Amino acid sequence: MSILQILNLIEKESSRTGKIALIEANKDNELFKKVLQKALNPYVNFYVRKIPNYTFRFLSGPDDKHQTLDWALDQLVKLEEREVTGHAAIAHLEYILGELNTEDATVVERIIGKDLRCGAADGTTNAAIPDFIPEYPCLLARPYDEKNIKNITYPAYSQLKADGLRANVLVKNGKVTSCGRSGRPIDLLGFLDADMLLLAATVMTDSQDMFFDGEFVVVDANEKIVDRKTGNGIINKAIKGTISDAEAKQVRFQVWDAFPLSEFYARRSKDTYKERFERLVDSVKRIESNPDKADRILGKGPFRFRLIPFEVVNSLEEAVKHFEKLLAAGEEGTILKNYCGLWEDTRSKHLVKFKAEKDADMEIMGFNPGEGKFEGMVGSIQMASSDRLVECNISGFPDDLRKWITEHQEELLGTIATVLYNERIKSKARIGVDSLFLCRFQEFRSDKKIANSSKEIK
């Protein structure tokens, strides 16, 4: 059985349990596992998102002279290690695809897109083959409550809770890579690169291989940030490889952390947040105070990075006032951060978020059929936390979105979506399971692969 045939079988299986069983059944197939690693490992990037036009060199027939899929995967290493870049990288990918048969070329296209299109995300794969796909590290905040707020000591930083898409920018060997919180590449067509190279060189002059943490937002012609739905719609095009030059030029990086890339790979920073953030603030100020140098390097126009707005607060009362001020200005909320905090792959006690509305990232478990005028379409989506202890059904979609969901059920199964809700309550249908009261759909999260656990949903 070919790799594409295996993927097609997994795609046709509607349940997560069934998909896990099929992956487990093929866990001794080394080529299959190699494909999973190339496609799902967040540390493997190819730096080419758009599939070039290509022509098959050999027609199918009894004298098949095609190269093998295993050969193609070895050839992709040249893209991973950036032995070839730019137009040369596109030409190399075109060459690889042209040497294959149609089935194997389809698999390579999916690998390049970091999406096997069968619902076999890293969580599903790791359930079948434990610890096979490494998890991408991410520092997260805890929600505000009486227990969590006691971990904050003053003075502390109160920062805007950016209302865009969480992103990292990695600078390595003079090359810039952007990705979401799950490690999935975000291709901004190179428009951010010069700015981030300048910032990296300014933050750490002795080591310019840097990791930056922040949020991508989209601005209009007046540099005003557009609403989240519109902005994330544009950024999602960069994830899918369909963003235009004009759209990519609208993206800004709101940055709040920076440290050497080696510490990111170690999943822990060496310096405290105060030390890291003061370096970042000083670097941005120095760049902004030297526009002549910036113009020579970047060309005239606005910088494509921005320091996250912040205040130093000396008490909980001051933190609340800052939160209320930003809320009144139409912002989503704030993040309160301890000076002493390290960057770690955890939901840190040193970060507490203030929000007016609750949200949760839930896994799509299945679909309920529509009734009445929605007969033949999806009526609602079944959602659950990662440990299956919190669940909800969401509906109320606009007609165009409902139609799109109905047409893409297979690829949506097992992915993540954000829901808004008012309260977490006991489920009336199942003992030991909670549900979300007045839950409603906010957005699909192509940047995230793991849902919130019940402990993270308050």
Whole-number pLDDT of residue 205: 67
> Peptide bond preceding 52: is omega within 30 degrees of 0, i.e. cis?
no
Number of neighbours of residue 352 by Cβ within 10 angstroms: 24
The CATH number for 163-307, chosen from 3.10.440.10, 3.30.470.30, 3.40.50.2300, 3.40.50.2020, is 3.30.470.30
CA distance 361 to 444: 9
pLDDT tens sequence across 92-127: 999 999 999 999 999 999 999 888 999 888 889 999
Residue 297 has pLDDT above 90, yes or no: no
Please tell me the predicted confidence (pLDDT) of residue 197. 93
Lowest-confidence region among 112-121, 146-155, 211-220, 424-433: 424-433
Which residues of the chain are in CATH 3.30.470.30 domains? Answer: 163-307
Q: Which two tokens stand for residue 362?
A: 């839930």
pLDDT value at position 298?
Answer: 42
Radius of gyration of the chain (CA): 23
Q: Report the pLDDT value the prediction gives residue 430, as an integer from 0 to 100.
A: 80
Residues 6+ positions from 399 with CB-CB distance below 8 Å: none
* Strand order through the sheet with 175-180: 175-180, 165-172, 210-218, 251-260, 305-307
Which of the four pLDDT bands, split at 50, 70 and 90, describes residue 355? Answer: confident
Looking at the chain, the domain(s) classified CATH 3.30.1490.70 span 135-162+308-356
State the sign of the Cα–Cα–Cα–Cα dihedral 193, 198, 204, 205: positive
Helices (H), 166-315: 193-203, 228-240, 245-248, 261-265, 273-288, 291-298
d(CA 31, CA 44): 16
Percent of the chain topping pLDDT 70: 96
- Which residues have a Cβ under 8 Å from the Cβ of 353 and sit 6 or more positions away? 141, 142, 143, 144, 161, 333, 334, 335, 336
What mean pLDDT do residues 37-59 have? 88
Range 358-456 classified under CATH 2.60.40.1120? no
Per-residue pLDDT of 123-172, as tens digits, reads 899 999 999 999 899 999 998 888 999 999 999 999 999 989 999 999 99
pLDDT of residue 98: 95
The CATH topology of domain 135-162+308-356 is Dna Ligase; domain 1 (3.30.1490)
Instruction: Categorize the per-residue pLDDT at 294 as very low, low, confident or very high, splitting at 50, 70 and 90.
Output: very low
Structure tokens at 87: 């137009």
- pLDDT at position 318 over 70: yes
Asked if residue 423 has pLDDT above 80, the reply is no
How far apart are the C-alpha atoms of 438 and 419, rounded to whole Å?
Answer: 10
**Window from 48-62, 154-168, 283-297, 352-366 with minimum mean pLDDT:** 283-297
Arithmetic mean of pLDDT, 403-432 = 88
